[in-house]
Amino acid sequence: MLELTSPDFGTNGEIGKDNTGFGDDVSPTLVLSGLSNDAKSLAIIMDDLDVPFVKAFNHWVIWNIPPKSVIEKNIPYGSECPDGSKQGIGYGKNRYRGPKQPPFIHKAHRYQFTVCALDTLLDIPTFSKEEDLIKAMNNHIIQKASLIGWYKI
């Protein structure tokens, strides 16, 4: 069973300011335990679960991450990463985009990080969005785990 944690925030814990658009906007460290030896790559989707009038608002999509138990914080901006992973379009950019609610929203928002272990590398363009990634992962997910954190201005 795959489990996802982060030393930067606990399960249902507050996401640190440095991981938000109000701070340095760097991706948090994500730790996987129980990762299958059959995993060929990892993919991450991060969604804001509390945007009014939509099911979820996507902040980050990244795929073809080499299988590993620790995904280090501060993944570089851009569509192509040094380790061969690819970042698609989330919140309008090819990069991690942390919590950044408009100033008129005063309630906490929940952010869900979902990591999928895949049995393949994905061949999709870097202008892909969440729905494209989900479609490409269909029938290739061998493990999946999620972690929710929250942030309030």
Residues 48-105 have pLDDT tens digits of: 999 877 889 999 999 999 999 999 999 999 999 999 999 999 999 999 999 998 777 7
The model's pTM is 0.96
Of 131, 63, 54, 51, nearest in space to 94 by CA: 63
pLDDT in tens, 100-115: 987 777 789 999 999 9
What is the pLDDT at residue 53? 79
Q: Cβ contacts of residue 63 below 8 Å, gap of 6+?
A: 41, 42, 43, 44, 85, 86, 88, 118, 122, 124, 133, 136, 137
pLDDT in tens, 122-135: 999 999 999 999 99
Three-point CA angle 130, 143, 17, nearest 5°: 55
Does the domain at residues 3-151 carry the CATH identifier 1.10.10.10? Answer: no
Cβ(49)–Cβ(56) below 8 Å: yes
